[in-house]
Structure 1
Amino acid sequence: MPHPNFDPRTLLLAIAATLFAGCATQPPAPVADPDAAAIASVFFAERARTGLARGYWRTERASWGANCVSGWDVGEMGQALVPALRRELSDGELRQAHDFLATPTGQRYAQRAMYRAPRAPATPEEAVDLRKFSETAAGRKLMDTGAALRMGEALSAAYADKLEACRQQHASFVASNSPSRMSPPAPVRKATDLSCTAPQPTYPREAIRGEQTGSVTVRFWLNPQGIVYMTLVVKSSNVPSLDAAAEKAIQSVQCQPFLANGHAITVTAEQSMRFDLR
């Protein structure tokens, strides 16, 4: 029998409070592997690929490593990096990154980072959104240089078999010296063979102050969308700031897709630049 002072509204409020508290404390669902792969693709795949290409060039002075990694699929690289990404970021930080990429700014950032759209400057609104994200726990980790290096190592380990296959194929081609036994590597074209805007390098101030000059040759890879997605200094000026300026200039060129038999394909080309104070 109910207590004489019993008020049903009190019980209903208590039940509602309990249910609300249970919902409020329930953690969000973990980011699924496909979404984690998308995060890895956006923030690390291209950076890791470029790092590997430069590492092979520095240590072996051979182009086979760069040519090998240039053909890897960005989405597949992202999938291979999921375990390493989960070691870098907590579930909550992965959720932050996932939610950022779901925004209009995040989607445009992803398009540029994965070289599916020209790298146009961010709008003022996008710049504010990017700054805010970079100040979050996820943003700090995803933009960290050390994290990018570790992800590059993880990609190298995950693709060890592919890299070894490329190495053996290159060695076999050199040993055979016979195009009839194995297809030769794709040719490195001149930049004049492509329809691209002329690079506009900026002479670094420190190089001007030091009266430093030199020539730089940059090899670059153009995807079927006509976007430069990887660059490599293959002939250095021996002045780091000049090399960096030349590479940045190539990364900023706008190109038309390169057509072969009517189909847009990935192509490799080289561009030389001279820095002279005259």
Structure 2
Amino acid sequence: MNETPKTPEDNRAGDATPRKRNSAVLWLLLVVALLLLGWWWFGQRGAQESMPEQAPGTTVGEPAATAAAEAEKAAVEARKKKAAEAAKPRKPSKPAAPRVTEPQPIASASAQPDYPRDAQRRGQSGRVLLRVDVAADGSVANVDFVQRSGTPELDRAAMNAVRKWRFNPARRDGKAVASSVNVPIDFVLPANN
């Protein structure tokens, strides 16, 4: 029963079963090759995305001076285009909002009203708010109550005094115009010493 050792040719010829060991190695090599191929492909893709943009008409490897000349040429064209647009007639722009000032009482012609003696003796005080229509010449055109003081004597004294006032009229773009303004009149009792 001495058996002679089998040679590799004998194994191939006599054995019908495939060798699993060799096919596993081949599959492993195939997977490694696919991984390397994928790694290389993503590396190339990332390199292309990180490359700077080239000026139109330049090729890879052209000197930087040529690219700079192209950029300067584009800047000159942009300036020419901007100058041409500036030379075109413009549409009229929206007019600026008119500058308006409110009428102001003239200090010398707008003295505070006299405190009515009867109201002062009774200890009555308060605020009267009047709406004054001022003409373009600065005179008072009309006076109405916005808020009364609660004392008819104080209300009457405030209205009579303001009717005699003079105003610097309101101005729109430097021209005097008629307008209205609210004027508060305060009646405050003097402090007793």
TM over 0.5: no
- Whichever structure has more helix as a proportion of its residues is 1
Pair member with larger Rg: 2
- Whichever structure has more strand as a proportion of its residues is 2
With a CA cutoff of 8 Å and minimum separation of 6, indicate the structure with the bigger relative contact order: 2
